[in-house]
Amino acid sequence: MKMVKQILVILLVLVSFGARSQESINKILSEIEENSPGITALRAQFENEKAQARTDLLPPNPIVEFGRFPAVQGAGVKQAWGVSQHFEFPTVYAKRNQLAKSTDRLANASYNATRQELLLEAKQTILELIGAKRMLSEYKKREAFAYGIQSVFQRMVDAGETSILELNNAKLRVAEISQSVLELESKVKYLNSKLLIMNGYKPISITDSAFVIPQLPAKDSLLNDLRQNDPRIAFAGSLVEVADMELVLTKHQGLPELGIGYESEKTDAEHFAGFRAGVSIPLWGNSGKRRAAKVNLNLAQMEEQKNKSMIELEFDENYIVAQSASERLAELKRAVSEFSNIDLLRRALEIGQISTVDFFYEITYLYEVTDKLMELELKYMLHFAALNKHKL
């Protein structure tokens, strides 16, 4: 254990690029928001929903009629023409206008919520790409080091200082690391292709090679911020608002409808002309719509409560994972009090200060700690991004 403490090495060095790294990611996200086919389609859908909400704000078109009626018996002819206009009760148009504004808010919240989902996916893909590139760089260093160790064992075998089994062990480790390098190269290529598609097939350059590890805010503060700014919560509230306005509208649609017109009838002997007006008798024509609107409002209210609960449950899950990862990262950093160069292991092996068993044990341990630390950092960053999705 004393030897382990003396040569404990962590290959990963946490490098912070300060605000520049975050600005780089934000700049890429702005570019993706501009070029993303999915977000472009969302904008078109948003505009369509706004336009659809304004299709019934005006009364129907006036009707102009004309008729010519020859007498069934005799030679007389009656000619008639008229113009008429029908209206719903005047307050209906005011309520429809209010409903259109509520629908605008609903469409806007829906757009923002879906847009943020797409941007979160893009951000997490960027983070995964940075993590994969970091891991690839680390494994390439390990590959080069493994080839160097293989050459050391080859010299030792040639000098009769060790057995061929040790050399074969070194060759096996080279093969394993080389395979990991190939897998990581494929992963980096896949993530680059995914980002390319997200950006409308316009190339994106990711130059970041390390994470900026932000501090996890207090849970209550972050949760209050989410409740005030998450568009999914605004969307749920807008659903209730729209359903409520639809119920109000159906009540006003139950008021009498109005009709006015002008008619003219003329025969060979007489001519009649004048205005007419009418009003509907609201009995049962609107009762079904009103009942349906009440049911829809109750459903929207229940959906609002369910959605809020699900959003907060998702928040709790992400926060617990991020908090756990943060604490484990802190524990690892506190545990690592000594840093050394991995080449010390190689020199110790070459001059016989440590056995091959101890050498491979230390290398394996160092690599495992390094991998866990990098994986933990990526995990924290992914969940931190999810917690702050409402800020995108």
Number of domains forming the structure of the chain: 1
Dihedral of CA 247/287/282/257: which sign?
Answer: positive
pLDDT band at 218 (very low <50, low <70, confident <90, very high): very high
CB-CB contact of 376 with 211 (8 Å): no
What secondary structure letter does DSSP report for 389?
G
67-122: pLDDT as tens digits: 988 888 777 888 999 999 999 999 999 999 999 999 999 999 999 999 999 999 99
Q: Residue 220: in which H helix or E strand, if any?
A: helix 219-229
Euclidean distance between CA atoms 161 and 266, whole angstroms:
127
Separation of CA 333 from chain center: 32
CATH code, 387: 1.20.1600.10
Residue 147: how many other CB atoms lie within 10 Å: 14
Euclidean distance between CA atoms 294 and 315, whole angstroms:
32
Give me the mean pLDDT over the 328-341 stretch: 64
CB-CB contact of 364 with 166 (8 Å): no
Please give the model's pTM, rounded to 2 decimal places: 0.83
**Average pLDDT value for the chain:** 86
State the burial class of residue 71 (Cβ atoms within 10 Å of its Cβ: 0-12, 13-18, 19+).
Answer: exposed
3-state secondary structure 35-90: HCHHHHHHHHHHHHHHHHCCCCCCCCCCEEEEEEEECCCCCCEEEEEEEEEEECCH
pLDDT band at 334 (very low <50, low <70, confident <90, very high): low
Euclidean distance between CA atoms 29 and 137, whole angstroms:
24
Residue type at 291 in one-letter notation: R
Which range of residues forms the domain containing residue 295? 2-391
Euclidean distance between CA atoms 252 and 148, whole angstroms:
85
Euclidean distance between CA atoms 105 and 110, whole angstroms:
9
pLDDT band at 183 (very low <50, low <70, confident <90, very high): very high
Euclidean distance between CA atoms 171 and 175, whole angstroms:
6
CB-CB contact of 282 with 289 (8 Å): no
pLDDT value of residue 373: 86
Query: Minimum mean pLDDT among 100-109, 245-254, 362-371: which range?
Result: 362-371
Q: Which one, of 354, 373, 357, lies nearest residue 6 by Cα?
A: 354
> Which two structure tokens, joined as six digits, stand for 331?
């524990």
pLDDT at 64 over 50: yes
State phi, psi for 287 to the nearest 5 degrees: -65, -40
